[in-house]
C-alpha cells in the first residue's frame, strides 16, 4: 500500500480539498474555503497546512470568530446545503466564540465544519495559555461546550484517527437528515505530529446527495388523505429549497390548485405573484394564509419543522377535524403534531403525490376563496409599504422602498428584531434564494456576516442587508472583511434607538417600557450617545450616508446600486409601529401574579389563548 507522510493538519486539509460535489452539472470542491483567525493553538499546525493548499482550498481572514462562522453558514444556506465552508480558531475565547454560531447551524440544519485548536494531548505543559482547567476531569476543555450544539463532535488525539473521523464528519455535513455543524477539536501538538497515511485516502471523491424515496404505504395514506380533503393547504418550508424542489412544488400547485403558504425558511419557493401564493404563515403570517389555515381540513407540510412561529404556538389550525400530513426527509420532523408522516425527499415526494393524484384537484370554491384572500392581502402590502413624507418611517415603509429598488434576483438578508416579521409578511420575493432570513435561531449580529457569506455564494446577485441599530452594534466587523474581499453589500441600518421589537413585546405582556429603548435604560446625565452609523461604516472602508425619510432613502439606494463596493445607508425609524394586519398569537409566558393591573389583564388573555392550543403530540 502506497503511503504519504503528513502531519495531522496537512492530512486534514488535503482530505477536505479532495471532496467534490456536482452543482448544475459542474464538478466543484465541497469545501469552498476555510475561515481562519490564527492564534497559538492553530497557527503553527493548521496555519502551515492551509498555506500549502491555498490555491485549492483558499483561506479567508475574518475579524470575529462568530462572525466568520456566520458567514460560513450563510454561504451553505445560499448554496442550498450543496457546498460549505470550514472555520479554524485558537483555543480559549476563539473556540468559545463559535458556540453561538454552531447553535445557529444546528437549529437551521445547516452544514458548518469547526476546527478549533485544543490543549496539548501530551499534557506536558499544562496548563497552557487560555486552557480551562476542570479539577477532577483533565479530559475537558472549552471545546466540550460545542458538544451539545454539534451534530458530530470528536477530539483528534492521534493523527490516524482522521481515517475514521473525517469520513464520518463529511457524511454528517452532506446528509439531508443529519446535516448540521461538525466539530473536530485539534490538540495543538497533535496538529503537528506526522503519520504515514494511505495515499488512497486523498484521492478525489465525488459526493452525491441521497434522495430518499417515499415508503409505498406512507405514500398511499398521504394520497388517500389528500383525496378526501375539501379544504387543503400546503405549507412550504426550507426543505423545499434544500431538496431543489421549487419546480416540483410549482408543478404540483399548478395542477392541483392547492393554496400555498410559506415559512421563513421556505419563502421564495413559489414567486410572490403566483396565483396560489398566500404568503407568510403563522405569527408573522399574512391574513390570507392564516385565514385559510383556520379553516383547512388538511395541511400538507413540506420540508418544515413546524416551529411555534409557523403554527402560532399550535393555535393556528382551527378546524377541529384538520389533519396534518408532513412530507419531510427527517422522520423526527415528520412525526410531529400527531401528523401522518411521509418520510422522503421533498422533490421526489411532491412528484410522487402529483403522479398518484393525477385526477384530483382542490375544490374550485376553496381555490376561489384563497384568491380573494390573496387579493385582499396584496392590497394591504401595497398600503403599508407605501412611501409617505414622514421623518420617522416605519420598518414596513423602509423595506417597501428597498423592495422597489432591488432587482428581481436580489437577495435580502436579515435575522433578528422586528424586521424578520415585517419581511416575512411584506417582502415580495420573485426567485428562489432571494430571501435569506435566519429565523430558526434569530441571532442578532448574523446580518452583515451572513450577507458576506451570501455575496460569496451568489456573486452575480445583489445583496441587501437590512439590520437594526441593535444588531449592527452587536456585530459589524465583517463589513470590513467584505470590503477587504471586494464582496459588495448594500446595508440599510434602521436606527430606532434601541430594541424596538422587544420593547413592543414587553408592553404587550402588560409591563412598562424598561431597558429596551435607549431612553428607558439606566444612563448618565449626558444620556445615551447618538451613533453615527455612516461615519462608522466609512471608517471600516465602505461608502456610506445618513438620510432622512423614504424619498431620500430611495435616492440613496440608487446611488448604492451604482457603487462598486460596500455601501451603507442609515436612517432613523419609528420604534412603535409594526404591521397590524395579519399575524397570529405567539405564546410568551406572562407572570401569574403582579402588582400591575396591565400584567394581570395580559395574563388572563394569555390563559384564554392557551385554551385554543391543539393537544396532539
| pTM exceeds 0.85 | yes
Domain assignment present for residue 581? The answer is no
Q: Quote the domain boundaries for residue 141.
A: 3-207
Domain shared by 88 and 171, yes or no: yes
Residue 401 lies inside a defined structural domain of this protein: yes
In a shared domain, residues 349 and 233: yes
Which 8-state DSSP code applies to residue 521? S
In contact, 71 and 98? CB cutoff 8 Å: no
Ordered DSSP codes for 62-74: -S-HHHHHHHHHH
39 and 134 belong to one structural domain: yes
Over residues 520-542, the mean pLDDT reads 95
Mean pLDDT of 340-359: 97
Residues 534 and 466 in one domain: yes
**Other beta carbons less than 10 A from residue 6's beta carbon:** 21
- Note the pLDDT tens digit of each residue in 377-397: 999 999 999 999 898 999 999
Percent of the chain at pLDDT > 70 equals 100
Residue-wise pLDDT tens digits, 315-326: 999 999 999 999
Residue where a domain terminates, one of 186, 207, 228? 207
Among the candidates 157, 173, 207, a domain finishes at 207
Using CA atoms, how far apart are residues 302 and 238, in angstroms rounded to an integer? Answer: 8
Please state, in angstroms and rounded to a whole number, the distance separating the CA atoms of residues 603 and 37. Answer: 48
Cα separation, 355 vs 467, in Å, equals: 44
Are 466 and 488 members of one domain? yes
Q: What are phi and psi of 405, to 5 degrees?
A: -85, -20
Alpha carbon distance 439, 450 (integer Å): 12
Q: What is the pLDDT of residue 313?
A: 97
Q: pLDDT tens for residues 172-202?
A: 999 999 999 999 999 999 999 999 999 999 9
d(CA 401, CA 613) in angstroms, rounded, equals: 37
Based on the fold, state whether residues 203 and 223 are members of the same structural domain.
no
The total of structural domains in the chain comes to: 4
Give the contacts of 217 (CB within 8 A, at least 6 positions apart): none
pLDDT of residue 445: 97
196 and 235, same structural domain?
A: no
Write phi, then psi, for 349 (nearest 5 degrees).
-65, -45
Q: Describe the crossing of helices 550-562 and 395-405 by its angle, rounded to 10 degrees.
A: 40
Domain with 249 in it: what CATH number?
3.40.50.1220
Tell me the three state secondary structure of residue 570. strand
346-356 vs 246-256: helix axis angle to the nearest 10? Answer: 20
Write down the pLDDT at residue 511: 96
DSSP per position, 401-419: HHHHHS-TT-EEEE-SSSH
Cell of 292: 385559510
Please check whether residue 430 is in contact with residue 272, taking contact to mean a CB–CB distance below 8 angstroms. yes
Segments in 112-215 forming alpha helices (H): 162-174, 188-192
What mean pLDDT do residues 527-553 have? Answer: 97
Residues 395-427 pLDDT 10s: 999 999 999 999 999 999 999 999 999 999 999
Task: State how far the Cα of 434 lies from the Cα of 396, in Å rounded to an integer.
Answer: 18
How much is the average pLDDT of 503-532?
94
Q: Tell whether 579 is covered by a domain.
A: no
pLDDT of residue 269: 98
* Strand positions, DSSP E, 119-214: 152-155, 181-187, 194-198, 205-207
Q: Contact 435/413 with Cβ under 8 angstroms? A: no
Rounded CA gap, 37 and 450, in Å? Answer: 18
Distances (CA, A) of 527 to 57, 496, 514, 519, 522: 49, 16, 15, 8, 9
Express each pLDDT in 280-290 by its tens digit: 999 999 999 99
Q: Which SS3 state, helix, strand or coil, does residue 194 take? A: strand
DSSP 133: P
Same domain, 292 and 147: no
Q: For residue 202, is it within any domain?
A: yes
Q: Over the chain, what is the mean pLDDT?
A: 97
Q: Which helix (H) or strand (E) holds 33?
A: strand 31-36
Is 616 a residue whose pLDDT tops 80?
Answer: no
Express each pLDDT in 211-235 by its tens digit.
Answer: 999 999 999 999 999 999 999 999 9
Are residues 603 and 546 located together in one domain of the fold? Answer: no
pLDDT at 615 over 90: no
- Whether the CB-CB separation of 328 and 177 falls below 8 Å is answered with no
pLDDT, tens only, 22-35: 999 999 999 999 99
Domain boundary among 317, 350, 377: 377
pLDDT of 617 reads 62
Q: Is the residue at 485 inside a domain? A: yes
Residue 182 in domain: yes
pLDDT at 335 over 70: yes
The helix/strand/coil state of 583 is coil
Question: What local confidence, expressed as pLDDT, does residue 1 receive?
Answer: 83
Summarize pLDDT for 50-68 with one digit per residue, the tens.
Answer: 999 999 999 999 999 999 9
Helices H / strands E in the chain, number of each? 24, 23
The verdict on residue 56 lying in a domain is: yes
Q: Return the CATH number at 132.
A: 3.40.50.970
Query: Which residue bears the cell 402590502?
Result: 381
- C-alpha closest to that of 290 among 582, 608, 586: 582
Does residue 544 fall inside a structural domain? yes
The verdict on 222 and 274 lying in the same domain is: yes
> How far apart, in Å, are the Cα atoms of 308 and each of 268, 312, 316?
20, 5, 10
Provide the pLDDT confidence category of residue 298 given band limits of 50, 70 and 90.
very high
Same domain, 512 and 372: no
Share of the chain above pLDDT 90, in %: 98
Same domain, 252 and 310: yes
Amino acid at each position: 500500500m502506497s503511503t504519504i507522510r503528513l502531519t495531522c493538519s496537512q492530512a486534514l486539509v488535503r482530505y477536505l480539498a479532495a471532496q467534490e460535489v456536482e452543482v448544475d452539472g459542474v464538478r466543484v470542491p465541497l469545501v469552498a474555503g476555510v475561515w481562519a483567525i490564527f492564534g497559538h493553538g492553530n497557527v503553527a499546525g493548521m496555519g502551515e497546512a492551509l498555506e500549502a493548499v491555498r490555491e485549492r482550498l483558499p483561506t479567508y481572514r475574518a475579524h470575529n470568530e462568530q462572525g466568520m462562522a456566520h458567514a460560513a453558514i450563510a454561504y451553505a444556506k445560499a448554496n442550498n446545503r450543496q457546498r460549505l465552508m470550514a472555520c479554524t480558531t485558537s483555543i480559549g475565547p476563539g473556540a468559545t466564540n463559535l458556540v453561538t454560531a454552531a447553535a445557529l447551524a444546528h437549529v437551521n440544519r445547516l452544514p458548518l465544519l469547526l476546527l478549533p485548536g485544543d490543549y496539548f494531548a501530551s499534557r506536558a505543559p499544562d496548563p497552557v495559555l487560555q486552557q480551562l482547567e476542570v479539577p477532577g476531569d483533565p479530559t475537558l476543555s472549552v471545546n466540550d461546550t460545542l458538544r451539545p450544539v454539534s451534530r458530530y463532535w470528536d477530539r483528534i488525539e492521534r493523527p490516524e484517527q482522521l481515517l475514521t473521523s473525517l469520513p464520518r464528519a463529511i457524511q454528517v455535513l452532506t446528509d439531508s437528515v443529519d446535516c448540521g455543524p461538525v466539530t473536530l477539536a485539534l490538540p495543538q501538538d497533535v496538529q503537528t505530529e506526522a503519520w504515514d497515511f494511505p495515499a488512497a485516502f486523498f484521492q478525489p471523491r465525488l459526493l452525491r446527495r441521497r434522495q430518499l424515496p417515499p415508503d409505498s404505504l406512507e405514500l398511499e395514506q398521504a394520497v388517500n388523505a389528500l383525496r378526501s380533503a375539501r379544504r387543503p393547504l400546503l405549507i412550504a418550508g426550507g426543505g423545499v429549497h434544500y431538496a431543489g424542489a421549487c419546480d416540483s412544488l410549482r408543478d404540483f400547485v399548478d395542477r392541483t390548485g392547492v393554496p400555498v403558504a410559506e415559512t421563513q425558511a421556505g419563502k421564495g419557493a413559489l414567486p410572490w405573484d403566483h396565483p396560489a401564493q398566500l404568503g407568510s404563515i403563522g405569527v408573522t403570517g399574512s391574513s390570507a394564509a392564516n385565514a385559510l389555515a383556520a379553516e383547512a381540513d388538511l395541511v400538507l407540510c413540506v420540508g418544515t419543522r413546524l416551529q411555534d412561529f409557523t403554527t402560532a404556538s399550535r393555535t393556528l389550525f382551527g378546524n377541529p377535524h384538520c389533519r396534518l400530513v408532513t412530507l419531510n426527509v427527517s422522520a423526527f420532523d415528520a412525526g410531529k403534531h400527531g401528523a401522518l408522516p411521509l418520510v422522503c425527499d421533498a422533490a421526489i415526494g411532491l412528484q410522487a403525490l402529483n403522479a398518484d393524484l393525477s385526477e384530483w384537484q382542490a375544490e374550485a370554491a376553496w381555490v376561489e376563496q384563497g384568491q380573494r384572500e390573496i387579493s385582499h392581502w396584496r392590497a394591504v402590502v401595497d398600503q403599508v409599504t407605501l412611501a409617505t413624507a414622514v421623518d420617522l418611517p416605519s420598518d414596513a415603509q423602509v423595506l417597501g422602498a428597498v423592495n422597489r429598488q432591488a432587482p428581481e434576483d436580489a437577495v435580502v438578508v436579515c435575522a433578528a428584531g422586528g424586521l424578520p416579521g415585517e419581511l416575512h409578511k411584506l417582502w415580495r420575493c420573485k426567485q428562489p434564494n432571494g430571501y435569506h432570513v435566519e429565523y430558526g435561531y434569530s441571532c442578532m449580529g448574523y446580518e452583515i456576516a451572513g450577507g458576506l457569506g451570501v455575496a460569496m455564494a451568489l456573486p452575480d446577485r445583489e445583496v441587501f442587508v437590512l439590520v437594526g441599530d441593535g444588531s449592527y452594534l452587536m456585530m459589524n466587523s465583517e463589513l470590513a472583511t467584505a470590503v477587504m474581499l471586494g464582496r459588495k453589500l448594500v446595508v440599510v441600518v434602521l436606527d430606532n434607538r434601541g430594541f424596538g421589537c422587544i420593547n413592543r413585546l414587553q408592553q404587550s405582556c402588560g409591563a412598562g417600557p424598561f431597558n429596551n429603548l435607549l431612553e428607558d435604560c439606566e444612563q448618565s446625565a449626558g444620556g445615551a450617545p447618538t451613533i453615527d452609523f455612516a461615519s462608522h461604516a466609512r471608517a471600516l472602508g465602505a461608502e456610506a450616508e445618513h438620510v432622512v425619510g423614504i424619498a431620500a432613502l430611495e435616492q440613496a439606494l440608487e446611488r448604492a446600486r451604482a457603487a462598486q463596493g460596500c455601501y451603507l445607508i442609515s436612517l432613523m425609524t419609528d420604534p412603535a409601529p409594526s404591521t397590524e394586519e395579519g399575524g397570529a398569537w405567539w405564546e410568551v409566558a406572562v407572570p401569574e401574579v403582579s402588582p400591575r393591573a396591565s400584567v394581570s389583564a395580559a395574563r388572563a388573555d394569555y390563559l384564554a389563548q392557551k385554551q385554543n392550543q391543539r393537544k396532539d403530540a
